[in-house]
Amino acid sequence: MSLEIRATSANSKLKCCKERKKRKVGVSKTIQLRCPKCATLAADPRQFRCAMCGAVHEVQVGIGHLTPNDFIRMRQSRDLSIWRWSDFLPVENRSSIVSLGEGSTPLLPAQRLGDRIGIANLYLKNDTVLPTGSLKDRSNSVGMSVGKELGFATASVISTGNAAASVAAYAAAAGMPSVVMVPKGTAASKIIQAHAYGATVIVVDGRFDYEVAELYKKAVAEFGWYDCLSSNPYRVGKKSYAYELVDQLDGALPEWVIHPTAGGTGILCMWQGFQDFLKLGWIARAPKLVAAQSEKAAPFVAALQKGSASIEAVEALETVAESIQVGNPAALGNRALAALRESQGTAVALSDGEILEAQALTARLAGIFAEPAAATSVAAAKKMRGQGSIDRDDIVVCHLTGHGLKQPEAIQVPEDEIRPIAPTLAALKERVRRGQDSDR
C-alpha cells in the first residue's frame, strides 16, 4: 500500500522536456533515459535514441532506496501481475498502468521431461498462458503504460506474429489505436489476432528487414506513432522474469536459464533484473543465461563462436521457429551479447528437427503445447546436457515463450486421425487398436 501512495502522491504532469529529464516519482523513484554508450542523458523522455551517437537509450529506474522489507512487501502483494514489481519499472503513475494480468506464470517442475533428457531439476516457465499467448505481453504492458503516460496517440509495430498481437491487445486495453505493418505474403493466421484486437493491419509489398522496415521508420517519423519495437527503451517488462524466478524458487537460484532468442530483449532485460536484485543484496549470484536460437538464424551463436565483441547480421533463413527468425538484432543485440558473456552463459543453435522433437516432448511429457520457437529452450537443454555442459543435478529453467496454437500448422496430424470411422463399435475397436499400435 505504501508503494501505491508513494508512486501516485507527488506526481504532476511536468510541462517541459527539461523538467522531465529526470522524472521524479514520489519521494524516491526516479526515471531517466541514458545512453549506455556515451552516458548522455536524454533531454526528452520521448527520445528513444541518443542524439550524440544514435544508440538506443537505456531506461534507468532509481532503486537505491529499496530495502529487504520492500522485497517482502512485493512478494506478499495480492497483485500477481508483473506490476507487483513496479518499483523496478519505468512508470510514474499507477493510474497509467495498462495491464491484462500478465505475469506470475507457472514455474513447473517437469519430472518426466527431465528424466527423458537427463536433468533432475528441470523447470518450465510457462509463458504460453500470458494474455495474448506469448512473452511479448510482459514488454508491452510496460511499454504501453509509458506510451499512455507520455501522451502518445497511436501505437505501432512491424511484426509477423506475436508482437503484432500483443501490441494490438495492449493498445486496445489502453484505448489507443494501433497500426501493424507486415510484409506481403504473411499468412493470414499470423495477422488474425492483431486484427481481432482492432489493429489497422497494413500489408506492404516488400521484404520484412528491408523495404517494410524502411517504410515503417519513415512512417513513425511522419505520423509520430508510438514505436513498440525493441528500439523502444521502455519495454523492459521482461526484467520480471528474474524477479519471478527468484520469488518462485524461494532462494534456490537456477544454474541455468534458457531463453528462446531473436532480438535479445529477453536476455538483456532478464540480466538487468538479476542485476537489480544483486545490487540490493537480495540474491548472492545470478544464473548463467543461455540464448536458444534456430540454426537458420543464429547471430548470437556466431558471435560467441567467433569471440566477436559485436553481433554481425546474418541472413535469416526459413525455420520452423518462426517467432525467432531474426538475423539482425540491431537495436539491442550487442548489449544482449555482453549480458550472455557476463553471466558466463552461452548460445545454442538448434536444427528444425531438434526443435520439433522438443516441442513434441514438451507437449507429451509435460502437458504444455508450446510453439516451435518456444521449444528451442527445451531443445537447447537437451543438447547441452548431451554435450555435458549442463550437469545432471543442475537446476535448469526453460522459458516457454509462446503458445502452440500460434503456429498450428507446425503439427502434422496423421491422415488416420482425421479420416472418419463408421459409427459402429467394431470400427471403433479397430481404430483404437491402430492408434495404440502407432503410439508404440
Residues in contact with Zn ion by CB under 5 A are 35, 37-38, 40, 50, 52-53, 55
State the nearest-atom distance from the C-beta of 36 to Zn ion, in Å: 8
Query: In this complex, which beta carbon is closest to Zn ion, that of residue 42 or of residue 390?
Result: 42
Query: In this complex, which beta carbon is closest to Zn ion, that of residue 35 or of residue 142?
Result: 35
Closest CA to 176 of 196, 142, 195, 199: 199
Which long-range CB contacts under 8 A does 192-196 form with residues at least 24 apart?
193/132, 193/164, 193/165, 193/168, 193/169, 194/164, 194/165, 194/167, 194/168, 195/168, 196/168
Query: In this complex, which beta carbon is closest to Zn ion, that of residue 50 or of residue 171?
Result: 50
State the nearest-atom distance from the C-beta of 58 to Zn ion, in Å: 10
Q: Is 52 buried (19+), middle (13-18) or exposed (0-12) by CB count in 10 A? A: exposed
Query: In this complex, which beta carbon is closest to Zn ion, that of residue 53 or of residue 427?
Result: 53
State the nearest-atom distance from the C-beta of 23 to Zn ion, in Å: 20
Amino acid at residue number 217: K
Dihedral in degrees, nearest 10, Cα atoms 324, 325, 331, 335 = 60
Closest CA to 85 of 269, 337, 226, 286: 269
Query: In this complex, which beta carbon is closest to Zn ion, that of residue 57 or of residue 382?
Result: 57
State the nearest-atom distance from the C-beta of 42 to Zn ion, in Å: 10
Closest CA to 414 of 435, 440, 436: 435
Backbone phi, psi, residue 432, to 5° = -65, -40
Task: Say how far apart CA 230 and CA 227 lie, in whole Å.
Answer: 9
Query: In this complex, which beta carbon is closest to Zn ion, that of residue 8 or of residue 40?
Result: 40
CA 186 from centre of chain: 22
State the nearest-atom distance from the C-beta of 59 to Zn ion, in Å: 14
Query: In this complex, which beta carbon is closest to Zn ion, that of residue 3 or of residue 338?
Result: 338
Specify whether the CB–CB gap between 142 and 89 falls below 8 A. yes
State the nearest-atom distance from the C-beta of 40 to Zn ion, in Å: 5
Please, what sign has the CA dihedral across residues 434, 407, 370, 351?
A: positive
State the nearest-atom distance from the C-beta of 57 to Zn ion, in Å: 8
